[in-house]
A and B are shown apart, each in its own frame.
Chain A
Amino acid sequence: MSDVLILCDEKKRAGGKIVKACVKIRGDLVEKVMISGDFFVDPAEKFEELLQELSNMKLRKDAVVTAVAELLRKKGLEFSGVTIEDILEVLNKILQ
Protein backbone atom coordinates (compact mmCIF):
# COMPACT_ATOMS: atom_id res chain seq x y z
CA MET A 1 0.00 0.00 0.00
CA SER A 2 1.31 3.50 -0.85
CA ASP A 3 2.13 5.93 1.92
CA VAL A 4 -0.16 8.86 2.43
CA LEU A 5 1.35 12.32 2.40
CA ILE A 6 -0.30 15.58 3.35
CA LEU A 7 1.44 18.64 1.97
CA CYS A 8 0.43 22.22 2.68
CA ASP A 9 1.52 25.65 1.61
CA GLU A 10 0.16 29.17 1.68
CA LYS A 11 0.36 32.54 0.06
CA LYS A 12 -0.49 36.00 1.35
CA ARG A 13 -1.56 38.37 -1.37
CA ALA A 14 0.18 41.75 -0.91
CA GLY A 15 -2.37 44.02 0.73
CA GLY A 16 -4.85 41.15 0.69
CA LYS A 17 -5.62 37.88 2.36
CA ILE A 18 -4.05 34.47 2.82
CA VAL A 19 -4.90 31.33 0.90
CA LYS A 20 -3.81 28.02 2.44
CA ALA A 21 -3.97 24.76 0.54
CA CYS A 22 -3.33 21.18 1.56
CA VAL A 23 -3.28 18.09 -0.63
CA LYS A 24 -3.48 14.48 0.42
CA ILE A 25 -1.37 12.31 -1.86
CA ARG A 26 -1.32 8.54 -2.05
CA GLY A 27 1.34 7.32 -4.44
CA ASP A 28 0.82 9.17 -7.70
CA LEU A 29 -2.74 10.13 -6.95
CA VAL A 30 -4.12 13.22 -5.23
CA GLU A 31 -7.08 12.11 -3.14
CA LYS A 32 -8.05 15.39 -1.50
CA VAL A 33 -7.46 19.06 -2.05
CA MET A 34 -8.36 21.55 0.64
CA ILE A 35 -8.43 25.30 0.06
CA SER A 36 -8.83 27.49 3.12
CA GLY A 37 -7.95 30.96 4.28
CA ASP A 38 -9.15 34.30 5.55
CA PHE A 39 -10.56 35.49 2.22
CA PHE A 40 -14.16 36.16 1.23
CA VAL A 41 -15.99 34.45 -1.60
CA ASP A 42 -19.43 34.91 -3.05
CA PRO A 43 -21.58 32.88 -3.35
CA ALA A 44 -20.25 31.03 -0.29
CA GLU A 45 -22.45 27.98 -0.93
CA LYS A 46 -21.01 27.44 -4.41
CA PHE A 47 -17.49 27.59 -3.02
CA GLU A 48 -18.45 25.01 -0.40
CA GLU A 49 -19.85 22.76 -3.14
CA LEU A 50 -16.52 23.06 -4.87
CA LEU A 51 -14.62 22.20 -1.68
CA GLN A 52 -16.82 19.13 -1.31
CA GLU A 53 -15.85 18.03 -4.83
CA LEU A 54 -12.19 18.66 -4.13
CA SER A 55 -12.26 16.56 -0.96
CA ASN A 56 -13.09 13.48 -2.98
CA MET A 57 -11.01 13.40 -6.13
CA LYS A 58 -8.67 10.82 -7.51
CA LEU A 59 -6.45 12.60 -9.97
CA ARG A 60 -2.83 12.29 -11.03
CA LYS A 61 -0.68 15.04 -9.57
CA ASP A 62 -0.10 16.63 -12.96
CA ALA A 63 -3.83 16.92 -13.63
CA VAL A 64 -4.87 18.59 -10.38
CA VAL A 65 -4.14 22.25 -11.04
CA THR A 66 -5.94 22.20 -14.41
CA ALA A 67 -8.93 20.43 -12.85
CA VAL A 68 -9.12 22.86 -9.93
CA ALA A 69 -8.78 25.86 -12.26
CA GLU A 70 -11.66 24.60 -14.39
CA LEU A 71 -13.87 24.03 -11.35
CA LEU A 72 -13.10 27.45 -9.89
CA ARG A 73 -13.91 29.24 -13.14
CA LYS A 74 -17.05 27.21 -13.82
CA LYS A 75 -18.61 28.06 -10.46
CA GLY A 76 -18.73 31.79 -11.19
CA LEU A 77 -17.16 32.71 -7.86
CA GLU A 78 -16.23 36.22 -6.84
CA PHE A 79 -13.24 36.27 -4.48
CA SER A 80 -12.27 39.21 -2.27
CA GLY A 81 -8.78 39.34 -0.84
CA VAL A 82 -7.28 36.62 -3.06
CA THR A 83 -7.58 35.60 -6.70
CA ILE A 84 -8.02 32.28 -8.48
CA GLU A 85 -4.42 32.67 -9.64
CA ASP A 86 -3.25 32.88 -6.01
CA ILE A 87 -4.99 29.58 -5.27
CA LEU A 88 -3.49 27.89 -8.32
CA GLU A 89 -0.03 29.27 -7.47
CA VAL A 90 -0.15 27.67 -4.02
CA LEU A 91 -1.30 24.34 -5.48
CA ASN A 92 1.50 24.47 -8.05
CA LYS A 93 4.04 25.06 -5.29
CA ILE A 94 2.77 22.05 -3.36
CA LEU A 95 2.63 19.72 -6.33
CA GLN A 96 5.96 20.55 -7.96
Chain B
Amino acid sequence: MSGSGILRVLVAEWPENQFFNLAFEEVLYLESKLPTLRFWRNDKVVVIGRFQSPPLEINSLEARDLGIKLVRRFTGGGAVYHDLGNVNYALTLPNHKLSIEESFSVVASAVVEALGSLGVSKAYYRPLNDIEVDGLKISGMAACRTHDRVFVHGAMLVSSDISILWRVLKISREKLSDKKFTQSRVKRVTTVNEVLGRTVSPEELYKAISEALSRRLGLEVEWGAPDNTELRKALNMYKGKYATLEWNLKYVDEVRDLISDEEYEALKAIARPSKHQERFIEVLSLE
Protein backbone atom coordinates (compact mmCIF):
# COMPACT_ATOMS: atom_id res chain seq x y z
CA MET B 1 0.00 0.00 0.00
CA SER B 2 1.46 3.42 -0.81
CA GLY B 3 0.52 6.72 0.75
CA SER B 4 1.32 10.35 0.30
CA GLY B 5 4.95 10.14 1.51
CA ILE B 6 4.84 11.11 5.17
CA LEU B 7 3.44 9.40 8.25
CA ARG B 8 3.10 12.11 10.88
CA VAL B 9 3.74 10.58 14.30
CA LEU B 10 3.09 12.29 17.60
CA VAL B 11 3.04 11.46 21.26
CA ALA B 12 0.24 13.70 22.47
CA GLU B 13 -1.34 12.81 25.78
CA TRP B 14 -3.10 14.37 28.76
CA PRO B 15 -3.59 11.34 31.01
CA GLU B 16 -4.97 13.49 33.79
CA ASN B 17 -7.91 14.58 31.67
CA GLN B 18 -9.33 11.57 29.88
CA PHE B 19 -12.14 13.66 28.35
CA PHE B 20 -9.66 15.97 26.65
CA ASN B 21 -7.66 13.00 25.38
CA LEU B 22 -10.75 11.73 23.55
CA ALA B 23 -11.57 15.19 22.22
CA PHE B 24 -8.10 15.51 20.74
CA GLU B 25 -8.45 12.02 19.26
CA GLU B 26 -11.58 13.02 17.34
CA VAL B 27 -9.98 16.24 16.11
CA LEU B 28 -7.11 14.22 14.62
CA TYR B 29 -9.63 11.91 12.96
CA LEU B 30 -11.66 14.71 11.42
CA GLU B 31 -8.94 17.23 10.59
CA SER B 32 -5.70 15.45 9.75
CA LYS B 33 -4.51 16.27 6.24
CA LEU B 34 -1.65 13.74 6.39
CA PRO B 35 -1.62 10.12 7.52
CA THR B 36 -1.22 10.57 11.27
CA LEU B 37 -0.28 8.19 14.05
CA ARG B 38 -0.80 9.24 17.63
CA PHE B 39 0.39 7.52 20.81
CA TRP B 40 -1.19 8.39 24.11
CA ARG B 41 -2.20 7.15 27.53
CA ASN B 42 -5.15 7.70 29.84
CA ASP B 43 -5.18 7.43 33.58
CA LYS B 44 -7.91 5.38 35.29
CA VAL B 45 -10.89 5.51 32.98
CA VAL B 46 -13.43 3.22 31.38
CA VAL B 47 -13.82 4.14 27.72
CA ILE B 48 -17.05 2.82 26.26
CA GLY B 49 -17.90 2.31 22.61
CA ARG B 50 -20.10 4.76 20.78
CA PHE B 51 -23.12 2.46 20.78
CA GLN B 52 -22.94 1.15 24.31
CA SER B 53 -25.27 1.92 27.20
CA PRO B 54 -23.25 2.75 30.35
CA PRO B 55 -25.44 0.96 32.91
CA LEU B 56 -25.10 -2.26 30.92
CA GLU B 57 -21.31 -2.03 30.71
CA ILE B 58 -19.83 -0.50 33.85
CA ASN B 59 -20.07 -1.13 37.59
CA SER B 60 -20.58 2.54 38.37
CA LEU B 61 -20.38 2.28 42.17
CA GLU B 62 -17.10 0.37 41.95
CA ALA B 63 -15.72 2.86 39.44
CA ARG B 64 -16.76 5.80 41.59
CA ASP B 65 -15.14 4.30 44.69
CA LEU B 66 -11.91 3.57 42.78
CA GLY B 67 -11.73 7.10 41.35
CA ILE B 68 -12.23 5.85 37.79
CA LYS B 69 -13.87 8.07 35.18
CA LEU B 70 -16.16 7.16 32.28
CA VAL B 71 -15.97 8.59 28.77
CA ARG B 72 -17.63 7.57 25.52
CA ARG B 73 -15.48 7.43 22.40
CA PHE B 74 -16.60 8.18 18.85
CA THR B 75 -15.86 4.69 17.50
CA GLY B 76 -17.91 1.55 18.06
CA GLY B 77 -16.65 -1.53 19.85
CA GLY B 78 -16.58 -2.52 23.49
CA ALA B 79 -15.78 -1.05 26.87
CA VAL B 80 -12.12 -0.94 27.87
CA TYR B 81 -10.29 0.04 31.04
CA HIS B 82 -7.32 2.37 30.60
CA ASP B 83 -4.60 3.10 33.12
CA LEU B 84 -1.04 4.32 32.63
CA GLY B 85 -0.01 0.74 31.87
CA ASN B 86 -2.12 0.81 28.71
CA VAL B 87 -0.74 2.41 25.54
CA ASN B 88 -3.11 3.70 22.87
CA TYR B 89 -2.23 4.00 19.21
CA ALA B 90 -4.44 5.86 16.75
CA LEU B 91 -4.07 6.00 12.98
CA THR B 92 -5.90 8.43 10.70
CA LEU B 93 -5.68 7.78 6.97
CA PRO B 94 -7.13 10.63 4.90
CA ASN B 95 -8.06 9.80 1.32
CA HIS B 96 -8.45 6.11 1.99
CA LYS B 97 -11.60 4.12 1.40
CA LEU B 98 -10.89 0.92 3.31
CA SER B 99 -13.78 -0.89 4.95
CA ILE B 100 -13.75 -1.23 8.73
CA GLU B 101 -12.68 -4.88 8.43
CA GLU B 102 -9.89 -4.03 6.00
CA SER B 103 -8.58 -1.24 8.19
CA PHE B 104 -8.43 -3.56 11.22
CA SER B 105 -6.46 -6.07 9.19
CA VAL B 106 -3.93 -3.48 7.97
CA VAL B 107 -3.27 -2.00 11.41
CA ALA B 108 -3.28 -5.35 13.19
CA SER B 109 -0.69 -6.83 10.86
CA ALA B 110 1.63 -3.90 11.57
CA VAL B 111 1.08 -4.10 15.33
CA VAL B 112 1.74 -7.86 15.27
CA GLU B 113 4.97 -7.17 13.38
CA ALA B 114 5.89 -4.48 15.93
CA LEU B 115 5.29 -6.87 18.82
CA GLY B 116 7.43 -9.45 17.05
CA SER B 117 10.30 -6.96 16.82
CA LEU B 118 10.12 -6.54 20.61
CA GLY B 119 10.29 -10.30 21.15
CA VAL B 120 6.58 -11.15 21.29
CA SER B 121 6.86 -13.79 18.60
CA LYS B 122 3.47 -15.45 19.01
CA ALA B 123 1.14 -12.49 18.56
CA TYR B 124 -1.54 -12.80 15.89
CA TYR B 125 -4.56 -10.91 14.58
CA ARG B 126 -7.90 -12.40 15.61
CA PRO B 127 -10.75 -10.92 13.60
CA LEU B 128 -12.75 -8.87 14.02
CA ASN B 129 -10.63 -6.50 16.08
CA ASP B 130 -8.33 -8.26 18.57
CA ILE B 131 -4.66 -9.10 18.81
CA GLU B 132 -3.85 -12.14 20.91
CA VAL B 133 -0.92 -14.12 22.24
CA ASP B 134 -1.62 -17.80 22.97
CA GLY B 135 -5.36 -17.18 23.08
CA LEU B 136 -5.04 -14.22 25.45
CA LYS B 137 -6.02 -10.73 24.33
CA ILE B 138 -3.18 -8.21 24.37
CA SER B 139 -4.73 -5.44 22.29
CA GLY B 140 -8.17 -4.45 21.07
CA MET B 141 -9.03 -2.05 18.28
CA ALA B 142 -11.94 0.11 17.19
CA ALA B 143 -12.52 1.97 13.94
CA CYS B 144 -14.74 4.30 12.00
CA ARG B 145 -14.73 5.98 8.64
CA THR B 146 -16.25 8.74 6.56
CA HIS B 147 -16.46 9.13 2.80
CA ASP B 148 -12.83 10.25 2.57
CA ARG B 149 -10.91 8.75 5.49
CA VAL B 150 -10.55 5.82 7.84
CA PHE B 151 -9.51 5.77 11.45
CA VAL B 152 -8.35 2.92 13.66
CA HIS B 153 -7.28 3.12 17.25
CA GLY B 154 -6.19 0.41 19.63
CA ALA B 155 -5.38 -0.14 23.27
CA MET B 156 -2.34 -2.26 24.10
CA LEU B 157 -1.98 -3.79 27.56
CA VAL B 158 1.63 -3.21 28.55
CA SER B 159 1.51 -3.25 32.36
CA SER B 160 -2.13 -2.56 33.17
CA ASP B 161 -3.70 -3.60 36.46
CA ILE B 162 -5.92 -6.33 35.09
CA SER B 163 -7.65 -6.96 38.43
CA ILE B 164 -9.21 -3.49 38.29
CA LEU B 165 -10.47 -4.19 34.80
CA TRP B 166 -12.70 -7.04 35.99
CA ARG B 167 -14.03 -5.01 38.91
CA VAL B 168 -15.30 -2.12 36.84
CA LEU B 169 -16.42 -3.78 33.60
CA LYS B 170 -19.65 -5.77 33.54
CA ILE B 171 -19.29 -9.08 31.80
CA SER B 172 -22.32 -9.86 29.66
CA ARG B 173 -24.36 -12.97 30.22
CA GLU B 174 -23.58 -14.12 26.69
CA LYS B 175 -19.83 -13.91 27.33
CA LEU B 176 -20.22 -15.73 30.66
CA SER B 177 -21.86 -18.66 28.93
CA ASP B 178 -18.68 -19.09 26.91
CA LYS B 179 -16.86 -21.92 28.73
CA LYS B 180 -13.44 -20.67 27.77
CA PHE B 181 -14.23 -17.38 29.39
CA THR B 182 -15.34 -18.70 32.74
CA GLN B 183 -12.29 -20.86 33.30
CA SER B 184 -10.37 -17.87 34.51
CA ARG B 185 -11.62 -14.34 34.09
CA VAL B 186 -8.28 -12.81 34.92
CA LYS B 187 -6.47 -14.97 32.38
CA ARG B 188 -8.53 -13.86 29.39
CA VAL B 189 -6.01 -11.11 28.80
CA THR B 190 -2.29 -10.65 29.08
CA THR B 191 0.18 -7.78 28.98
CA VAL B 192 3.34 -7.12 26.99
CA ASN B 193 5.43 -7.11 30.18
CA GLU B 194 3.96 -10.41 31.27
CA VAL B 195 4.66 -12.08 27.92
CA LEU B 196 8.24 -10.78 27.72
CA GLY B 197 9.05 -11.15 31.39
CA ARG B 198 10.53 -7.65 31.43
CA THR B 199 9.42 -4.03 31.57
CA VAL B 200 8.90 -2.53 28.13
CA SER B 201 8.99 1.26 27.98
CA PRO B 202 6.24 3.13 26.10
CA GLU B 203 8.97 4.60 23.87
CA GLU B 204 10.06 1.14 22.70
CA LEU B 205 6.49 0.43 21.71
CA TYR B 206 6.05 3.79 19.93
CA LYS B 207 9.19 3.16 17.88
CA ALA B 208 8.25 -0.41 17.00
CA ILE B 209 4.66 0.39 15.95
CA SER B 210 5.55 3.54 14.00
CA GLU B 211 8.30 1.69 12.08
CA ALA B 212 6.03 -1.27 11.32
CA LEU B 213 3.22 0.99 10.11
CA SER B 214 5.56 3.10 8.01
CA ARG B 215 6.76 -0.08 6.26
CA ARG B 216 3.21 -1.36 5.82
CA LEU B 217 1.97 1.95 4.41
CA GLY B 218 5.09 2.80 2.41
CA LEU B 219 5.45 6.12 4.25
CA GLU B 220 8.32 7.87 5.96
CA VAL B 221 8.01 8.59 9.67
CA GLU B 222 8.14 12.24 10.68
CA TRP B 223 7.86 12.94 14.42
CA GLY B 224 5.87 16.04 15.32
CA ALA B 225 3.72 17.71 17.97
CA PRO B 226 0.14 19.01 18.15
CA ASP B 227 -0.28 22.44 16.61
CA ASN B 228 -2.25 25.31 18.12
CA THR B 229 -5.17 24.88 15.72
CA GLU B 230 -5.59 21.25 16.71
CA LEU B 231 -5.40 22.13 20.40
CA ARG B 232 -7.95 24.92 20.02
CA LYS B 233 -10.34 22.62 18.16
CA ALA B 234 -9.82 19.95 20.78
CA LEU B 235 -10.73 22.40 23.54
CA ASN B 236 -13.95 23.25 21.71
CA MET B 237 -14.69 19.57 21.14
CA TYR B 238 -14.02 18.93 24.83
CA LYS B 239 -16.36 21.66 26.04
CA GLY B 240 -19.13 20.89 23.57
CA LYS B 241 -19.03 17.12 23.67
CA TYR B 242 -16.62 15.05 25.74
CA ALA B 243 -17.01 16.97 28.99
CA THR B 244 -20.81 16.63 28.81
CA LEU B 245 -23.19 14.13 30.34
CA GLU B 246 -25.27 14.44 27.19
CA TRP B 247 -22.54 12.62 25.26
CA ASN B 248 -21.05 10.31 27.89
CA LEU B 249 -24.38 9.19 29.33
CA LYS B 250 -26.28 8.58 26.11
CA TYR B 251 -28.52 5.51 26.25
CA VAL B 252 -28.97 5.77 30.01
CA ASP B 253 -32.52 7.20 30.08
CA GLU B 254 -33.79 4.17 28.21
CA VAL B 255 -32.70 1.87 31.05
CA ARG B 256 -32.92 4.32 33.94
CA ASP B 257 -35.50 2.17 35.75
CA LEU B 258 -33.05 -0.75 35.81
CA ILE B 259 -30.55 1.01 38.06
CA SER B 260 -30.72 2.44 41.56
CA ASP B 261 -30.60 6.15 42.33
CA GLU B 262 -27.13 5.64 43.81
CA GLU B 263 -25.88 4.01 40.60
CA TYR B 264 -27.40 6.83 38.55
CA GLU B 265 -25.71 9.48 40.68
CA ALA B 266 -22.43 7.55 40.47
CA LEU B 267 -22.69 7.52 36.68
CA LYS B 268 -23.22 11.27 36.63
CA ALA B 269 -20.24 11.81 38.90
CA ILE B 270 -17.80 9.71 36.88
CA ALA B 271 -18.97 10.77 33.41
CA ARG B 272 -17.87 14.39 33.70
CA PRO B 273 -14.59 16.12 34.56
CA SER B 274 -13.81 16.84 38.19
CA LYS B 275 -13.11 20.38 39.39
CA HIS B 276 -9.42 19.55 39.33
CA GLN B 277 -9.68 18.41 35.72
CA GLU B 278 -11.57 21.56 34.78
CA ARG B 279 -8.77 23.67 36.30
CA PHE B 280 -6.29 21.73 34.17
CA ILE B 281 -8.28 22.68 31.08
CA GLU B 282 -8.34 26.34 32.13
CA VAL B 283 -4.54 26.28 32.36
CA LEU B 284 -4.31 24.58 28.96
CA SER B 285 -6.57 27.21 27.44
CA LEU B 286 -4.27 29.99 28.59
CA GLU B 287 -1.11 28.50 27.09
Contacts and interface: CB of A to CB of B under 8 A. Distances in A.
Given A22-B254, A40-B143, A42-B144, A10 B100 contact: no
A36 B251 contact: yes
B202 interface: no
Interface of B is mostly: loop
Contacts of B175: 12, 18
Contacts of B50: 44
Interface stretch (B38-46, B72-80, B158-166, B229-237): B72-80
Contacts, number: 89
B49 to A, nearest CB: 5
Nearest to B140: A38
Given A10-B173, A18-B172, A38 B254 contact: no
Given A32-B254, A34-B255, A41 B128 contact: no
Interface in B67-119: 74-79, 99-101
Given A36-B251, A44-B76, A16 B128 contact: yes
B56 A20 contact: yes
Interface residues of A, number: 31
A47 B50 CA distance: 11
A44 B144 contact: yes
A8 interface: yes
B51 A41 contact: yes
Nearest to A7: B258
B52 A36 contact: yes
B145 interface: yes
B249 interface: no
Contacts of A17: 78, 128
A58 interface: no
Contacts of A78: 99-100
B92 to A, nearest CB: 16
Nearest to B51: A36
Given A6-B257, A36-B51, A18 B174 contact: yes
A42 B174 contact: no
Contacts of B144: 40, 42, 44
